[in-house]
């Protein structure tokens, strides 16, 4: 059926098979899946799909690295935080929408690291 749809001009086809779909309202499920696929495609197009990838890899962005390097005790403490705490702080910085928000978050991360206070989830 998927091949037929693609042959007829569909842009994409997705096979969703799981017992959880058994007895479900097929039309309602298709609307929910379509909305989800649309949201994913929009996020991939605008870059928000990958915004946390660097935080997941524990990559310290250049602006935060420079701020930490300017205050050696903060840099040492930050490096000593467990990966989960660093990831949370990096994600918080990465999710800032405005440059002034990002700068404020960097300042707060560096201040906390200097006091050896890590993120708590």
Q: Do 88 and 102 fall into the same domain? A: yes
**Contact present, 111 and 78 (Cβ < 8 Å):** no
The answer to whether residue 67 is domain-embedded is yes
The answer to whether residue 88 is domain-embedded is yes
Query: What's the whole-model pTM score?
Result: 0.72
What is the pLDDT, as a whole number, of residue 18? 76
Residues 6+ apart with CB under 8 A from 14: 2, 33, 37
Share of residues in the chain with pLDDT > 70 (%): 98
Give how far the C-alpha of residue 14 lies from the chain's centroid of Cα atoms, to the nearest Å.
24
Give how far the C-alpha of residue 97 lies from the chain's centroid of Cα atoms, to the nearest Å.
13
What average pLDDT does this structure show over 68-79? Answer: 97
Which tens digits make up the pLDDT trace of 94-113? 999 999 999 999 999 999 99
What average pLDDT does this structure show over 10-26? Answer: 78
What is the pLDDT, as a whole number, of residue 107? 97
Q: Which of 15, 35, 32 is nearest to 24 (CA)?
A: 32
Q: Do 37 and 64 fall into the same domain? A: no
Q: Do 98 and 64 fall into the same domain? A: yes
Residues spanned by the domain of 107 = 53-114
The answer to whether residue 119 is domain-embedded is no
| Res. 121 pLDDT band, cuts 50 70 90 | low
Q: Does 10 score more than 80 pLDDT?
A: yes
Q: Does 69 score more than 60 pLDDT?
A: yes
């Amino acid at each position: 059926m998927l091949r037929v749809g693609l042959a007829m001009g569909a842009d994409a086809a997705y096979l969703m098979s799981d017992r959880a779909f058994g007895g479900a309202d097929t039309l309602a499920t298709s609307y929910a899946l379509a909305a989800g696929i649309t949201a994913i495609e929009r996020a991939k197009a605008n870059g928000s799909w990958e915004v946390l990838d660097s935080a997941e890899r524990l990559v310290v962005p250049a602006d935060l690295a420079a701020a930490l390097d300017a205050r050696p005790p903060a840099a040492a403490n930050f490096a000593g935080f467990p990966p989960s705490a660093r990831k949370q702080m990096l994600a918080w910085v990465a999710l800032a929408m405005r440059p002034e928000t990002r700068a404020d978050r960097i300042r707060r991360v560096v201040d906390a690291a200097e006091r050896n206070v890590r993120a708590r989830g």
